[in-house]
Amino acid sequence: MQYRKLGNTDIDVPLIGLGTMTWGEQNSLEQACEQMDYALSKGVNFFDAAEMYPVPPRAETAGATEQYIGHWLAQTVKRSEVTLATKVVGRADTRPDWNHIRGGSRLNRDHIRRAIEGSLERLQTDYVDLYQVHWPERATNFFGVRGYVHYPSADGIAIEETLDALSELVDEGLVKHVGISNEAPWGLMEYLRLASERGLAKVVSIQNVYNLLSRQFESGLAEMAIREQVGLLAYSPMAFGVLSGKYIGGQKPAGSRLELFERFARYGSVQSEAATEAYMAIADKHGMTLAQMSLAFVCQQPFVTSCLIGATNMQQLEENIAAVEVVLSKEVLAEIEAIHNQYPDPAP
């Protein structure tokens, strides 16, 4: 396993990180524990969770993922071997499907305090290594929103108050470092500005979507990630499993995410399918699986700190972790760029 520094900290995180959002919905406790055992044996000691997991978010399952991790930590006594990350829900008071979390989460001091206390209890630990804001308070571009419409009236809680509250958790030792997720360039800039001017905790990571079908991170945020040492924790590197190739031709294998949940339509466009088929042809030509090529592409980016994989079975997990050993040649990268120019960011 290869490792990279988490921002400007002294923490080394694996280039492949373990995503957990299916645990408690598509995966049982026993399966989650098996995944953690295997991942750690392969040097994948970075686990990423969230208070709202599993996904899709439901009142009946909220917090189950953290509970599974907490159970494993308690049984194995391996807390010191794991870099543990979780997230506080972003603004949710306008989303009925997320209203079960504190009656509609806001990113103010009270909600953040209650969120971390709940996460620590479920995780059965007294601190987390990385605590992230799951999505912004304000109305901006995240979760597949294209274009930008300015809504000053929807700004809500200021980033300054959010970062103040997060910094208190760092000062108290409940959180080692803080990060952001689903953020835009202005949001990252504001977090950095406030940290510099007011001596608050500096964000050390940004967790945004990044994959062959969605490369918007490269415009603006990639340069900031490198220059400001706020590396990308790339989520959805397999585009909901679309970049495994299993959905080509309209197929929906039984038990797959797209077969189970209609809400995951982000990569379902005609352009996305055409691009996926073209990428599949490159992988076939060079003797790789599409999954391996897709993950290797993400891992080779200089602005990526860790590529967060998720798996619902051990075969997927083994293949995904092994992708860290794949190095894409200049020829393959050139062919990938040709397809990207033909189908630029077909998914939001």
pLDDT at 256: 61
> Helix, strand, coil % (nearest 5) of the chain?
45, 15, 40
- Tell me which of 3, 38, 53, 151 is the catalytic residue: 53
The fraction of the chain above a pLDDT of 90, given in percent, is: 86
Q: Are 282 and 337 in contact (CB under 8 A)?
A: no
What digits encode the pLDDT tens for the residues 45-76?
A: 999 999 999 999 999 999 999 999 999 999 99
Q: Are 129 and 87 in contact (CB under 8 A)?
A: no
| Separation between Cα atoms, residue 266 and residue 240, nearest integer Å | 8
pLDDT at 249: 76
Domain ranges for the chain = 3-207
From 32-41, 121-130, 132-141, 248-257, the region with the lowest mean pLDDT: 248-257
What digits encode the pLDDT tens for the residues 171-216?
A: 999 999 999 999 999 999 999 999 999 999 999 999 999 999 999 9
**Structure tokens belonging to residue 251:** 């197929």
| Separation between Cα atoms, residue 29 and residue 24, nearest integer Å | 7
What digits encode the pLDDT tens for the residues 263-291?
A: 667 888 899 999 999 999 999 999 999 99
Q: Given CA atoms 86, 87, 88, 89 in this order, what sign does their dihedral have?
A: negative
Whether residue 222 is predicted with pLDDT greater than 70 in this model: the reply is yes
C-alpha distances in angstroms, 289 versus 23, 28, 202, 282, 295?
Answer: 25, 27, 39, 9, 10
| Separation between Cα atoms, residue 86 and residue 53, nearest integer Å | 10
| Separation between Cα atoms, residue 321 and residue 36, nearest integer Å | 12
From 119-133, 177-191, 219-233, 263-277, the region with the lowest mean pLDDT: 263-277
If you average pLDDT over each of 137-151, 211-225, 246-260, which comes out highest?
Answer: 211-225
Q: Is 53 annotated as catalytic?
A: yes
Whether residue 259 is predicted with pLDDT greater than 60 in this model: the reply is no
| Separation between Cα atoms, residue 95 and residue 337, nearest integer Å | 38
pLDDT at 99: 85
What digits encode the pLDDT tens for the residues 70-94?
A: 999 999 999 999 999 999 999 998 8
| Separation between Cα atoms, residue 44 and residue 184, nearest integer Å | 28
pLDDT at 66: 98
Q: Are 58 and 12 in contact (CB under 8 A)?
A: no
Round the average pLDDT of the chain to a whole number and report it.
Answer: 94
Q: Are 348 and 146 in contact (CB under 8 A)?
A: yes
**What is the pTM assigned to this prediction?**
0.95
User: In this structure, which topology does domain 3-207 adopt according to CATH?
Assistant: TIM Barrel (3.20.20)
Whether residue 310 is predicted with pLDDT greater than 60 in this model: the reply is yes
Core vs surface per residue 284-316: b (16+ CB within 10 A) or e = eeeebbbbbbbbbbbbebebbbbbbbbbbeeeb
